[in-house]
Amino acid sequence: MIDIKLIRENKELVKENIKKKFQDHKLELVDKVLILDEEVRKLKLEGDNLRSEKNNLSSSIGLLMREGKKDEAELAKKRVVEINEKLQTLESDEGKLNKEIKEIMMVIPNIIDATVPIGKDDSENVEVEKFGEPVVPAFEIPYHADIINALKGLDKESSGRTSGNGFYYLMGDIARLHSAMLSYARDFMIDKGFNYCIPPFMIRSDVVTGVMSFEEMDAMMYKIEGEDLYLIGTSEHSMIGKFKDQIVKETELPITLTSYSPCFRKEVGAHGIEERGIYRVHQFEKQEMVVICKPEESMDWYNKMWSYTVEFFRTLDVPVRTLECCSGDLADLKVKSCDIEAWSPRQKKYFEVGSCSTLGDAQARRLGIRTKGEDGTYYVHTLNNTVLATPRGLIAFIENNLNEDGSINIPVALRPYMGGLEKIEIK
């Protein structure tokens, strides 16, 4: 959510930003919110004048009574009653208008960074840099479910009976590998100086609407029936929500956190849920990084954060690339975002394994997260980035470390988490 002062002072900038995001249907909202804002300010001014008059009258009533001017005192009392009734009406009207303004402001997109490429959708995202050589081996790479099945590591039939499509059982060495990757991701980020956290896996609706747009919420979140609770789609939600309505000490900034959580998503859309594989599923696990910092530090942290994910995957012998998200592919709260994509030797192309975003003060403004410095109180900036989301990360690892005989190499960095195992072999 942007500052309404920006709309008052530079509405054309806000409109141009909407156009860059190809959301022209929202242009009228800018003018509408300005009209409503002007009405609120008039009501506020009228209310302030009435309160001033009320205070003066209240001060004079005692004096009039002491001077024996009872009739004048009674008229003053009557006027105070009238003012109180009028103030109630004004405050009610002001509250309704402010609610309407907030609802509009929640759907006006954040101002994107000047470096964001302009494009309508993800097909116009721009490759920035490749890390590692994307190798296609001489032998054929099977579909990931077939690789894992050969190692007796996947049971989709049973999960179909217990939970339906979009769920899975991981078994044996593959399940161990899955957990090992998450444990390594945790320690990797701790070594980078991030504070480890396990957050709540359910959050209230006011936190959900604070961290994401309504469209994302409807498409992603599972609601707990009969309760004001949602299953998280990523630990970023509860990690940012941790600071809701707080004034963080400026001396404590930046706050750098890395969090583990299971994640739950509807995955509504054209892509659909995979019936046979585990690439797009309703349930997965994730190691996340979250940073809360001063506004002037946010872009530096953005660049550090995506580079950490690149470094993590390279230690696992997985080639990756960074892809700059274009304006039309940015969620409304985001200022700038890039995807980290892993090489798939089977598909001979890259696929997404993580995403890094800076959201400016949009989330902080929605959730009331501020800090206090020498020049007063101001909103912090928030950033988030995926270290590892798996089983998607597991797929990338398996394809890039597969041998022709169906065994999987374990890189040196991961061996301590696999009991020293150097290779997973078909038994």
Q: What is 5-16 written as a DSSP string?
A: HHHHH-HHHHHH
Q: What CATH number corresponds to the domain at position 295? A: 3.30.930.10
pTM value is 0.89
User: What per-residue confidence (pLDDT) applies to 182?
Assistant: 98
Three-state secondary-structure class, residue 243: coil
- Please determine, for residue 58, whether its predicted confidence score (pLDDT) is greater than 90: no
Q: Containing domain of residue 135, as a range?
A: 122-424
- Cβ atoms of 174 and 151 closer than 8 Å: yes
- Are 322 and 411 in a shared domain? yes
Close Cβ partners of 307 (under 8 Å, ≥ 6 residues apart): none
**Domain-located, residue 147:** yes
**Total domains in the fold of the chain:** 2
User: What per-residue confidence (pLDDT) applies to 394?
Assistant: 97
User: What per-residue confidence (pLDDT) applies to 70?
Assistant: 84
- Are 237 and 273 in a shared domain? yes
Domain end marker among 56, 80, 105:
105
User: What per-residue confidence (pLDDT) applies to 269?
Assistant: 58
- Are 276 and 142 in a shared domain? yes
User: What per-residue confidence (pLDDT) applies to 272?
Assistant: 61
Domain end marker among 51, 73, 105:
105
354 vs 237: CA distance, rounded Å? 16
> Do the strands 195-197 and 255-264 form a parallel or antiparallel pair, or are they unpaired?
parallel
216 vs 306: CA distance, rounded Å? 22
The tens digit of pLDDT for each residue in 342-398 reads 999 999 999 999 999 999 999 999 999 999 988 899 999 999 999 999 999 999 999
Within 10 Å of residue 309's Cβ, how many Cβ atoms? Answer: 27
**Domain-located, residue 227:** yes
User: What per-residue confidence (pLDDT) applies to 61?
Assistant: 85
For the chain, the average pLDDT equals 94
- Are 241 and 360 in a shared domain? yes
- Are 16 and 132 in a shared domain? no
- Are 71 and 144 in a shared domain? no
Q: How many residues does the chain have?
A: 427
**Domain-located, residue 221:** yes
393 vs 50: CA distance, rounded Å? 63
- Please determine, for residue 401, whether its predicted confidence score (pLDDT) is greater than 70: yes
Within 10 Å of residue 74's Cβ, how many Cβ atoms? Answer: 13
In which element (H, E) is residue 308 found?
Answer: helix 298-314
Domain end marker among 105, 135, 157:
105
User: What per-residue confidence (pLDDT) applies to 271?
Assistant: 60
- Please determine, for residue 270, whether its predicted confidence score (pLDDT) is greater than 60: no
The tens digit of pLDDT for each residue in 94-146 reads 999 999 999 999 999 999 999 999 999 999 999 999 999 999 999 999 999 99
**Domain-located, residue 115:** no
Radius of gyration of the chain (CA): 28
**Domain-located, residue 206:** yes
- Are 32 and 142 in a shared domain? no
- Cβ atoms of 380 and 253 closer than 8 Å: yes
- What average pLDDT does the segment 64-69 reach? 84
Q: What CATH number corresponds to the domain at position 86? A: 1.10.287.40
- Cβ atoms of 108 and 29 closer than 8 Å: yes
**Domain-located, residue 111:** no
The DSSP secondary-structure symbol of 108 reads: S
The tens digit of pLDDT for each residue in 133-177 reads 999 999 999 999 999 999 999 999 999 999 999 999 999 999 999
Cα 116 to Cα 113, 159, 353, 358, distances in angstroms: 6, 42, 21, 12
- Are 178 and 70 in a shared domain? no
The tens digit of pLDDT for each residue in 168-210 reads 999 999 999 999 999 999 999 999 999 999 999 999 999 998 8
Both tokens assigned to 425: 């072999």
Task: Give percent above pLDDT 70 in the chain.
Answer: 98
- Are 100 and 196 in a shared domain? no
- Are 66 and 142 in a shared domain? no
Q: Is residue 212 very low, low, confident or very high in pLDDT (cuts 50, 70, 90)?
A: confident
User: What per-residue confidence (pLDDT) applies to 288?
Assistant: 97
**Domain-located, residue 19:** yes
**Domain-located, residue 183:** yes
User: What per-residue confidence (pLDDT) applies to 251?
Assistant: 94
Diameter of the chain by CA atoms?
107
- Are 299 and 382 in a shared domain? yes
Backbone CA torsion sign across 397, 401, 402, 405: negative
- Please determine, for residue 294, whether its predicted confidence score (pLDDT) is greater than 80: yes
- Are 95 and 134 in a shared domain? no
